[in-house]
């Protein structure tokens, strides 16, 4: 596993901020705007300040010197990002091991530099280079500037400035390396999750409070993997590394395996983020279903969505065929209300934070009543989540809520639990047992 930095917009430590501030206030470095704490901008600032033609950050990789960042106004600059060469043939190695000084006003008059072909091939005139150290003391590479012409005005103060910037760049690179390792660890963990037998689906009953009967089920993913943590944490990590849609789709495919076996009159709710809904594979999965009128799609997104029109257009053919759309966690934040207003859902799910203690909290009752009134006026149905006591259920019935779910009404269960409740069609025991096995994603 090799680290390759891409974007190092990491804020500098306060000590370096003060040093950069003093340099900028003195007029030594001017970017034409507020200072940016990124390696490319630092390179540009140093190159412009020193009036050099080329500035770059190199990384030492085994016996090679690789160019990671380059800033130059020279059209024929031979130093290019991603390229490099033998470390022993470079100024960088000689500066680090002390064979060359950090400041060379005229490289062609330095005996050691004159031995290097680049000194005359490029040619190199003025040259400055300082090591970049990481927090563990190792040398990452060098922070370098050079021009084809000589420059007698460069002095030790300029070297000191280079060291400050090199130290700052080292801390940025160090932090990004830590982030890279964390990202790679997450990526490996989610890939392993997708290709193992650890994804199972449980089904939580949704009750019709007026009929005192089960009206349907919400499918919920569970992960028998390490580290032990909530499903939300697994999905969040998957989205962080770009595998969230794939993990959601695998869970959806597994959940839908039970749908042909559900008794008539029972709905099945699946959860999907807007990103998953807009993926081509999601539509392909829905196309495999002979009927969608008993399927409820819950949008799970706690942040603002900017693609409402695209989502609505993507779902319209399925909603025309009977697909029910639900918005989750109503009352939990501004985002859920935006979803309601923009997507016109068939169902609105009252968040657990409002359901909890609704029997004794007038404020929660008032807000729930307002949402019930809103759902009635807009033709949608309200479902309360997180019902954990008989008194909460009674309060919801009094307010006019027709459907609810929660531990008081029924805990999530496996397909065998559905069979035990009589919610699967007769003769479906074998199919139920098959659907209850862990889901293996294809390799």
377-416 b/e with 16+ CB inside 10 Å = b? eeebbbbbbbbebeebbebbeebebbbbbbebbbebbbbe
Q: Do 323 and 415 have their domain in common?
A: yes
Same domain, 199 and 172: no
Nearest to 338 by CA among 327, 352, 349: 327
Domain presence at residue 8: no
In this predicted model, what pLDDT tens digit does every residue of 106-158 receive, in sequence order? 999 999 999 999 999 999 999 999 999 998 899 999 999 999 999 999 999 99
Determine contact, residues 124/146, Cβ cutoff 8 Å. yes
Question: Is 440 domain-assigned?
Answer: no
Cβ(317)–Cβ(310) under 8 Å?
Answer: no
pLDDT computed for residue 327 by the predictor: 87
Residues 138, 33, single domain; the answer is: yes
pLDDT of residue 202: 96
Rounded Cα–Cα distance for residues 102 and 254 (Å): 62
Is the Cβ–Cβ distance between 121 and 143 less than 8 Å?
no
Closest CA relative to residue 141, chosen from 130, 127, 150, 156: 130
Residue carrying the six token digits 């409740």: 421
Question: By C-alpha distance, which of 270, 317, 314 is closest to 295?
Answer: 270
Of 377, 358, 378, 376, nearest to 368 by C-alpha is 358
Per-residue pLDDT of the chain (443 residues; tens, 9 = 90+): 443 433 333 333 344 444 444 444 443 343 333 334 588 888 999 999 999 999 999 999 999 999 999 999 899 999 999 999 999 999 999 999 999 999 999 999 999 999 999 999 999 999 999 999 998 899 999 999 999 999 999 999 999 999 999 999 899 888 888 888 999 999 999 999 999 889 999 999 999 999 999 999 999 999 998 889 999 999 999 999 999 999 999 999 999 999 999 999 999 999 999 999 999 999 999 999 999 999 999 998 765 677 889 999 999 999 999 999 998 866 555 566 778 888 899 999 988 888 999 999 999 999 889 988 988 888 899 999 999 999 999 999 999 999 999 999 999 999 999 999 999 988 654 444 444 544 333 33
Q: Which of 256, 245, 191, 201 is nearest to 223 (CA)?
A: 201
Q: Which residues contact 290 (CB under 8 A, 6 or more apart)?
A: none
* Residue labelled with tokens 């090591």: 131
End-to-end CA gap in the chain: 22
CATH number of the domain that 93 lies in? 3.30.450.40
What would you report as the CA-atom Rg of the chain, rounded to the nearest whole angstrom?
Answer: 31
Answer with the one of 182, 206, 234 that is the final residue of a domain. Answer: 182
Interval 160-217: pLDDT, tens: 999 999 999 899 888 888 888 999 999 999 999 999 889 999 999 999 999 999 999 9
**Is residue 297 within 8 Å of residue 286, measured between CB atoms?**
no
Q: Do 250 and 349 belong to one domain?
A: yes
For residue 9, is it within any domain? no
Please check whether residue 38 lies inside any domain of the structure: yes
How confident is the model at residue 335, as a pLDDT?
60
Residues 285 and 249 sit within 8 Å (Cβ to Cβ): yes
Contacts of residue 82, Cβ cutoff 8 Å, sequence gap at least 6: 66, 67
d(CA 127, CA 129): 7
170 and 202, same domain (yes or no): no
- Interatomic CA distance for residues 143 and 46, integer angstroms: 10
Domain count within the chain: 2
Residue 1 inside a domain? The answer is: no
Q: Is residue 76 part of a domain?
A: yes
Per-residue confidence (pLDDT) for residue 34, from 0 to 100: 34
């Amino acid at each position: 596993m090799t680290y390759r930095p891409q974007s190092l917009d990491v804020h500098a430590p306060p000590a370096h901020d003060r040093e950069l501030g003093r340099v900028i206030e003195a007029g030594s470095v001017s970017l034409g705007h507020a200072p940016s704490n990124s390696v490319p901008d630092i390179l540009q600032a140093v190159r412009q300040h020193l009036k050099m033609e080329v500035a770059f950050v190199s990384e030492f990789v085994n016996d090679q010197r690789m160019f990671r960042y380059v800033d130059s106004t020279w059209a024929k600059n031979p130093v290019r990002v991603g390229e490099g060469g033998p470390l022993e043939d470079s100024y960088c190695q000689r500066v680090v091991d002390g064979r060359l000084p950090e400041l060379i006003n005229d490289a062609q008059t330095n005996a050691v530099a004159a031995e290097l072909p680049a000194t005359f091939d490029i040619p190199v005139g003025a040259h400055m280079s300082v090591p970049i150290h990481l927090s563990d003391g190792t040398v990452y590479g060098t922070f370098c500037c050079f021009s084809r012409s000589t420059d007698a005005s460069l002095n030790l103060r300029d070297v000191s400035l280079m060291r400050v910037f090199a130290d700052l760049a080292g801390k940025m690179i160090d932090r990004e390396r830590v982030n890279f390792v964390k990202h790679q660890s997450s990526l490996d963990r989610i890939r392993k999750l997708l290709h193992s037998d650890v994804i199972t689906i449980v089904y939580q009953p949704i009750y019709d409070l007026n009929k005192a009967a089960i009206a349907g089920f919400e499918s919920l993913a569970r992960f028998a993997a390490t580290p032990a943590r909530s499903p939300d944490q697994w999905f969040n990590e998957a989205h962080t590394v770009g595998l969230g849609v794939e993990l959601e789709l695998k869970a959806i495919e597994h959940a839908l395996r039970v749908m042909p076996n559900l008794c008539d009159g029972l709905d099945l709710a699946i959860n999907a983020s807007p990103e998953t809904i807009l993926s081509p594979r999601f539509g392909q999965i829905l196309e495999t279903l002979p009927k969608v009128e008993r399927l409820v799609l819950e949008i799970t997104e706690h942040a603002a969505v900017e693609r409402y029109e695209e989502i609505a257009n993507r779902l319209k053919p399925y909603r025309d065929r009977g697909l029910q759309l639900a918005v989750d966690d109503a009352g939990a934040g501004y985002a859920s209300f935006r979803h309601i207003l923009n997507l016109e859902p068939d169902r609105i799910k009252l968040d657990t934070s409002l359901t909890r203690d609704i029997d004794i909290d007038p404020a929660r009752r008032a807000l729930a009543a307002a949402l019930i009134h809103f759902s009635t006026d807009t033709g949608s149905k309200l479902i309360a989540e997180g019902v954990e006591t008989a008194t909460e259920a009674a309060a919801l019935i009094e307010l006019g809520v027709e459907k609810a779910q929660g531990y008081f009404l029924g805990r999530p269960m496996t397909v065998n639990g559905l069979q035990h409740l009589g919610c699967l069609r007769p003769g479906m025991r074998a199919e139920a047992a098959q659907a209850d096995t862990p889901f293996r994603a294809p390799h």
